Amino acid sequence: MKLYYSPGACSLSPHIALREAGLNFELVQVDLASKKTASGQDYLEINPAGYVPCLQLDDGRTLTEGPAIVQYVADQVPGKQLAPANGSFERYHLQQWLNFISSELHKSFSPLFNPASSDEWKNAVRQSLNTRLGQVARQLEHAPYL
């Protein structure tokens, strides 16, 4: 397997999951500006969307999107209990939080790093993020993890 990543991008959770799973994989760095791997390969041939993370399986198939990749990795080593069992309520709860993080938290940070975003817009984004992070904090009052 190969995990295509870029430093500072949202490739960290799949990287951690692969390490925790103990699976053999190769890390391949991608320059997101040029869409080239460190070896010069055209990354768009691997992932036409051009973003990371992307997990390429040994048979050439690929998975993108962090939540899908971490669940795939967890399912390869069920004995490690990296995720609840498929079909269980707990698994759907995991999917709920992975989707929340992906859609409500992660994407919300983008305007804060965009120089074209106005200060007014950034302040509104910060308020929204505080609300969303409050949801996470309330959940963690009752459990050691999401």
**What tens digit of pLDDT does each residue of 1-25 get?**
999 999 988 899 999 999 999 999 9
Rounded Cα–Cα distance for residues 49 and 78 (Å)? 30
What mean pLDDT comes out for the span 80-98?
94
3-state secondary structure 71-99: HHHHHHCHHHCCCCCCCCHHHHHHHHHHH
pLDDT at 33: 96
Share of the chain above pLDDT 70, in %: 100
The full set of domains in the chain, from first to last, is 2-80 (3.40.30.10), 89-140 (1.20.1050.10)
What is the structure's pLDDT at 9? 87
Q: What is the pLDDT of residue 7?
A: 92
The pLDDT value given to residue 107 = 83
- Residue 145: predicted pLDDT: 81
- Residue whose structure tokens are 């399912």: 75
Instruction: Name the residue with higher pLDDT: 125 or 8.
Output: 125
Mean pLDDT of the 110-115 span? 90
Provide the pLDDT confidence category of residue 58 given band limits of 50, 70 and 90: very high
Backbone angle region of 41, left / alpha / beta, with phi > 0 → left and psi within -120 to 50 → alpha: beta
